[in-house]
């Protein structure tokens, strides 16, 4: 289960945050720590053992270390991880590791400071790289680096990013842009670099497929390759374009938005409002039933190819707008 703990972010990545931002959720409507833990307890009863904390930027959440500790202590939860932009990771990594966080995914689209500024709106690359180093030293491993590939922005850096895996035991994952979603919809469609084109470039560097049982922990929808003699791996994550190797075919995620809406599909407009249930006095058994219902209604992409496409682009606050939530709200 992926849990967004805030819709706030300290970056403005061109493919994630719409140009005008998203309507921020009122603090009163954001799930409280105790409510998040209650959802986790219900999920654990149903056999869910892995929790990924996302945002927005999760390290902006007040009391994030305490929240991680509370989640990690829930019986049945064996793995707590986090996706972060890395800007604050150096400050929090040691405390997060002590609280029970196991590993981190860090969003990093370039190794060039000026490009990082163009992509994110901030001069942050040095902080991100330092954060990754500190996280590794604190044992938050395996470390995965998420790179969204844009044709005119960073396609020429695939080799440089891939070579990181020869030097360090890091896992660099190249992600195909989702062109129909939120801020990405305003980009030139030509910016999309298909997953197969990324794979071909990696094969040109000598990368070979990795056996499924050798994938890094929490591999999810990515398929993995490895350069000869490397310490880490290279991942490729396709978009929802119908490619049988795309992200939908192997998706096993539930997503909880920061205001308590449970989505069984990243591309769906349908959500279960767990916050309203809890604030109306729902029991743990009722929460379990609601989560079980969401799981049973999770679309099977191969059987229902329209389920991932026939929805409107995110416009903010999925239920309120009638569209699906923006990536900045639900955490991807």
Does pLDDT of 85 surpass 90? yes
pLDDT at 311: 39
Pairwise pLDDT comparison (138 vs 221), residue with the higher score: 138
User: 122 falls in which pLDDT band (50, 70, 90)?
Assistant: very high
The interaxial angle of helices 33-45 and 284-296, nearest 10 deg, is 60
The Cα–Cα gap between 331 and 57 comes to 8
| CA pseudo-torsion sign 283, 288, 294, 297 | negative
Percent of the chain scored above 90 by pLDDT? Answer: 72
Contacts of 64 (CB under 8 A, 6+ apart): 5, 53, 58, 92, 96
pLDDT at 79: 98
Average pLDDT for 198-211: 96
- Spatial CA neighbour of 36 closest among 326, 309, 260: 260
Q: Could you tell me the CATH number of the domain that includes residue 150? A: 3.20.20.70
- The encoded tokens of residue 43 equal 């999920």
User: 269 falls in which pLDDT band (50, 70, 90)?
Assistant: confident
The interaxial angle of helices 89-99 and 64-72, nearest 10 deg, is 30
Does pLDDT of 219 surpass 70? no
Does pLDDT of 8 surpass 90? yes
Does pLDDT of 232 surpass 80? yes
Phi-psi category of residue 167: left, alpha or beta, with phi > 0 → left and psi -120 to 50 → alpha: alpha
The Cα–Cα gap between 171 and 188 comes to 29
pLDDT at 144: 98
pLDDT at 301: 56
User: 270 falls in which pLDDT band (50, 70, 90)?
Assistant: confident
Does pLDDT of 306 surpass 80? no
Pairwise pLDDT comparison (37 vs 326), residue with the higher score: 37
Pairwise pLDDT comparison (332 vs 60), residue with the higher score: 60
pLDDT at 198: 98
| CA pseudo-torsion sign 140, 89, 44, 256 | negative
Does pLDDT of 313 surpass 60? no
Percent of the chain scored above 70 by pLDDT? Answer: 84
Does pLDDT of 125 surpass 80? yes
Q: Which domain holds residue 90?
A: 2-330
Task: Pick the range with the lowest mean pLDDT from 2-6, 28-32, 72-76, 301-305.
Answer: 301-305
Residues 25-70 pLDDT 10s: 999 999 999 999 999 999 999 999 999 999 999 999 999 999 999 9
pLDDT at 299: 75
User: How does the average pLDDT of the chain come out, rounded?
Assistant: 88
pLDDT at 212: 72
What is the DSSP code string of 165-195? Answer: HHHSSEEEEEEE--TTSGGGGGS-GGGB--H
Average pLDDT for 85-101: 99
Does pLDDT of 303 surpass 70? no
The Cα–Cα gap between 93 and 88 comes to 9
The answer to whether the beta carbons of residues 83 and 107 sit under 8 Å apart is: yes
Average pLDDT for 236-264: 78
What is the domain count for the chain? 1
| This prediction's pTM | 0.90
Average pLDDT for 198-214: 92
């Amino acid at each position: 289960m992926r849990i967004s703990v805030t819709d706030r972010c300290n970056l403005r990545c061109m493919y994630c945050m719409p140009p005008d931002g998203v309507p921020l959720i009122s603090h009163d409507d954001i799930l409280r720590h105790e409510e998040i833990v209650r959802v986790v307890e219900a999920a654990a009863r149903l056999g869910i053992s892995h929790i990924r904390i996302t945002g927005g930027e999760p390290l902006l959440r007040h009391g994030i270390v305490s929240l991680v500790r509370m989640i990690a202590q829930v019986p049945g939860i064996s793995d707590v991880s986090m996706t972060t932009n890395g800007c604050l990771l150096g400050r929090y990594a040691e405390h997060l590791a002590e609280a029970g966080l196991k590993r981190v995914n860090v969003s990093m689209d370039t190794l060039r400071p000026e490009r990082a500024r163009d992509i994110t709106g901030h001069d942050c690359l040095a902080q991100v790289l330092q954060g990754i180093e500190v996280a590794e030293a604190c044992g938050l491993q395996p470390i995965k680096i998420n790179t969204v590939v844009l044709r005119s922005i960073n396609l020429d850096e695939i080799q440089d990013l891939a070579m990181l895996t020869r030097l360090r035991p890091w896992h660099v994952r190249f992600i195909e842009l989702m062109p129909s979603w939120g801020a990405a919809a305003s980009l030139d469609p030509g910016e999309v670099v298909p997953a197969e084109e990324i794979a071909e470039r990696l094969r040109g560097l000598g990368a070979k497929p990795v056996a499924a049982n050798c994938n890094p922990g929490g591999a999810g929808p990515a398929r993995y390759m490895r350069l000869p003699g490397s310490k880490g791996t290279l991942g490729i994550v396709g978009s929802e374009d119908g490619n049988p190797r795309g992200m939908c075919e192997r998706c096993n995620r539930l997503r909880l938005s920061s205001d308590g809406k449970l989505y069984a599909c990243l591309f769906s407009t349908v959500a279960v409002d767990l916050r309203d249930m809890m604030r109306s006095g729902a029991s743990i058994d009722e929460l379990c039933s609601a989560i079980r219902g969401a799981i049973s209604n999770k679309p099977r992409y191969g059987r229902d190819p329209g389920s991932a496409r026939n929805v409107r682009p995110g416009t903010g606050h999925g239920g309120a707008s009638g569209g699906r939530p923006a990536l900045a709200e639900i955490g991807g």
